[in-house]
Structure formats: C-alpha cells, structure tokens
Amino acid sequence: MMQLAVFDFDSTLIDGETIEFLAHKQGVFEAVSAITKRAMAGELDFYESLQARVKLLQGMQEAQAIQICQNLPLIKGAKEVVSGLKQRGYKVVCLSGGFKFATMHFKNVLGLDGEFSNILHCKNGQLTGEVGGEMMFSFSKGMILRTLQDLLCIPPDKTLVVGDGANDVSMFAHAKKKVAFCAKEILKAHANIIIDTKDLREVLAFA
C-alpha cells in the first residue's frame, strides 16, 4: 500500500525561517524574529502572528522576495530523505505556513509530490503586506493532511509527519509516525519520534 510522508518547510526542509530571510533584507528582522519565536513556541495565535509579520514586509520588491525565496539553504539530508522515502513507496508532500515563492521552487528542487503554502499578495511589483492561502491557521496542516489521506486513500497508520513548531501539532494527530525534528518543546510533547541531530537522513531509520 502507498504511504504518505508530510514535511513542514521552514526549519525542517530548509535551514531557517523564510520570513526571517525576507525580513533581514527589509531591515525588520528583529521585529519579525521576536513574533516568530513566540508563534513557534505556541504563545501567539498563528494566524495573527503571520499577518503581523507579513505586514512588516510591506513595500518590498516582489522580484527581490522571489530571489530570496529561491535561494534558501536546505537542511542537511533534505534531498536524500525525499528520494529515500520515494524509493520506499511514499508520496512526499510539504505543508508550510510559509510562502509559494519558496515552496513551489523547492518542490522541483527536492522532487516533492506536492506543496501547500500561502501567497504573499503583490501589487505593482511590490509586497502589499497582505497574505492569503490554505495554510493560514494553527489547524490548517491537520485539515490538509486529512484531505490528502482521503484523496489518496492512505490511512493514518501509513502516514509519517515531520515538523519542528507549534503549527505542526495539528498534523501530528493524524499520523502514526510523528517526528519532532530539532523541535520546540511544545511539539516534542506530541511526538513519538524525536530527532535532535540536524540531518534529515535520520528520518529514514523510522520509515
């Protein structure tokens, strides 16, 4: 039977948070980073924190945002874990509270079967500070995972999920193998596999 592997994107497949790379270039890193830390630790509502952080990117050039998003550093072992899982019959998908500029590019780089993320709204070649998409809420990943399981006829006991932060908790409820990868304590509490080595190839031992 087909199996499903679902990865978070920021600080899981790539080494860092997309929005922080963008914020650094825009000169608002400290403000964005402070909100990110609180959101990932579960101290802030994810939807509100996403809106607040994207608002700080208002006025950034769209072309610059795309360039940054397409040149993010991959986590060690990212390519190997995707190809290794696909060889074992897994469909491999990324669910991200981040942005299409990054996830669509890295879907091709990594050979993912699919990606779900959010869209930075642009007008006249600039970011407006608004964001929309299918991954806006703390429950979004769990909801999309269940939809994928229904579409592909893959049950939770054939599902592996990998993440690092609070907004990954919702997808952990629908998978047998729940991997907390270099993760925040709030996610480790929901995991049954904990990897603290920054190398995604470690996941293959549990697949």
Sign of the C-alpha dihedral computed for residues 110, 116, 120 and 122 taken in this order? positive
Question: For residue 116, with 0-12 CB atoms within 10 Å meaning exposed, 13-18 middle and 19 or more buried, which class applies?
Answer: buried
pTM of the model: 0.96
Choice among 8, 113, 196, 199 that is catalytic: 8
Predicted local distance difference test score (pLDDT) of residue 41? 83
> Strand 3-7 to strand 90-99: parallel, antiparallel, or no bridges (unpaired)?
parallel
Model confidence at 96, in pLDDT bands (50, 70, 90)? very high
Q: What is the mean pLDDT of residues 123-128?
A: 98
Tens digit of each residue's pLDDT (9 = 90 or more) over 127-181 = 999 999 999 999 999 999 999 999 999 999 999 999 999 999 999 999 999 999 9
pLDDT category of residue 3 using cuts at 50, 70 and 90: very high
Tell me if residue 199 is catalytic: no
Question: What's the pLDDT tens digit per position in 175-201?
Answer: 999 999 999 999 999 999 999 999 999
Task: Judge whether 37 and 16 are in contact, CB under 8 Å.
Answer: no
Partnered with residue 43 across adjacent β-strands are: none
Residue 8 designated active-site: yes
Catalytic hit among 10, 15, 164, 196: 10
CA 154, CA 136: separation in Å to the nearest integer? 24
